[in-house]
Amino acid sequence: MQISFDANIWILGILDINPFCVKILINLSKFNVALPNQIRAEVERNLANKHVKQFYQFVLLSGARIDFETVPPSYIKSFEEKGLKKGDAEIGAFCEWRKVDIIVSNNRDFLRGLSPGHYFEVMSPQEFCERFGL
C-alpha cells in the first residue's frame, strides 16, 4: 500500500502543532511513503532551515521516496476540471498517476473538494491514525 502525506502533515508534525501529524511522522517507517517533488518544495518554502533538515531526516530514516518526475499535464488537467486549485490538482494528479492508495491531508479544500471517481482515498491525519492504530 502506497501512501502520501500532504505538505501540511509534514509541517504541522515537524513544528509539533498537531498531535496526529506528530504520530504519523514518528511512525513513517511503517508505511510505503511516496512524495511528489511539489510537496518537498512546499515543505522547504514553509519551514526554517533547521526544520527542513528535520524533514530530510524523517525522509531518509523512514525510507520515504521523493519522486522528482514531472506529473503528466493530462492528469493535472483532469483534477483541475474536478474543481481543485492548481497545487491541489497537482497533488491529486500525482496520486492518481503513481497509484497512491491514500493521501493524508489537513487541507479542508482538498478533503471536501474532491469528488469520487479517483484511484486514491483522502484521509485527515486523525482518520489515518485511527485506521492504522497510531
109: confidence class by pLDDT, cuts 50, 70, 90: low
Its domain, for residue 62, covers 2-131
pTM: 0.90
DSSP strand pairing (32-36 vs 2-5):
parallel
Domain count within the chain: 1
- The pair phi, psi for residue 114, each rounded to 5°, is -100, 115
C-alpha to C-alpha distance for 62 and 30, rounded to whole angstroms: 8
At residue 112, the pLDDT reads 57
Instruction: Please compute the mean of the pLDDT values over residues 54-75 and round it to a whole number.
Output: 95
Element holding 113 (H helix, E strand): helix 108-113
| pLDDT tens per residue, range 33-63 | 999 999 999 999 999 999 999 999 999 999 9
pLDDT at 115: 58
Residue ranges with strand state E in the chain: 2-5, 32-36, 65-67, 102-104, 121-123
Q: CATH number of the domain that 90 lies in?
A: 3.40.50.1010
